[in-house]
Amino acid sequence: MGPDRDLGSPPPFVSTDPEAPAAQGFFVAFEGPEGAGKSSQVARLATRLRDQGFDPVVTREPGGSRAGERVRAVLLDPELRLEPLSELLLYAAARAQHVVELIAPALAAGRLVLTDRFRAASVAYQAYGRELDLRFVEALNERVTAGLKPNLTILLDLPPELGLARVAARGATDRLERADLAFHARVRQGFLAQAQHDPGRWRVIDARHDEARVADGIWEALEPALLAWRSG
């Protein structure tokens, strides 16, 4: 079998046709740099949603499956030095597992799924940040997600200096957080470029504000789409 062998179509577990009554669920991803408060905002939002009668599935990347959580431990271990390509492939492996094991079945069952990071993170960190080939990163993303995109991606945008200062104040730094400022500036550019390219599916929230105000911004950005989905 030669190198041009057709790897076949992606597994048919999710519709990639935007007109199709796709997975009846609703899929929201959160992205942003270090120190943007993403994880606390996801937790706050989940609570607010439960108060409003929603029943979200809350997950994260890398992670979201048993194998994915183990891959996460490798990726975030400051003792390990990973090549950018190895890093990309490990994130992709965790994502493939995450989609098949958790996200696609939850959406097919009509659930609301919130994920702390998804495919846009590989574009921002591995393509823009580590400067791997953008088309390759996008093709890999497309393959491992079987074309699945979030209905909405919420970007908590923050200047890198501020994000890193917040992380330093927290005291803990993992391997990626130690990368230099220029890297984080490219990552931010990578997120903003994706948001600009697909404004219908992205909402950019200014994460410089305090936590309560950012939470309100997220709610305002999500509520109309969620109500339309619930009534639809």
Binding residues vs ligand ATM (CB under 6 A)? 34, 61-62, 91, 116-117, 121-122, 125-126, 174, 176-177
Q: What is the dihedral of CA 87, 8, 17, 141, to 10 degrees?
A: 10
Closest distance of CB 17 from ligand ATM, Å? 25
C-alpha dihedral sign at 178, 181, 187, 191: positive
Give the nearer residue to ligand ATM in terms of CB position, either 26 or 91: 91
Q: Which two tokens stand for residue 163?
A: 């994000």
Residues with Cβ < 8 Å from 69, sequence gap 6 or more?
Answer: 62, 63
Closest distance of CB 87 from ligand ATM, Å? 7
Token pair 């697909």 in the structure block, residue = 198
Helix axes 134-145, 84-98, angle to 10 degrees: 20
Give the nearer residue to ligand ATM in terms of CB position, either 174 or 223: 174
Give the nearer residue to ligand ATM in terms of CB position, either 87 or 204: 87
Backbone angles phi, psi at 5, to 5 degrees: -50, 135
Closest distance of CB 72 from ligand ATM, Å? 8
Give the nearer residue to ligand ATM in terms of CB position, either 61 or 157: 61
Closest distance of CB 200 from ligand ATM, Å? 22
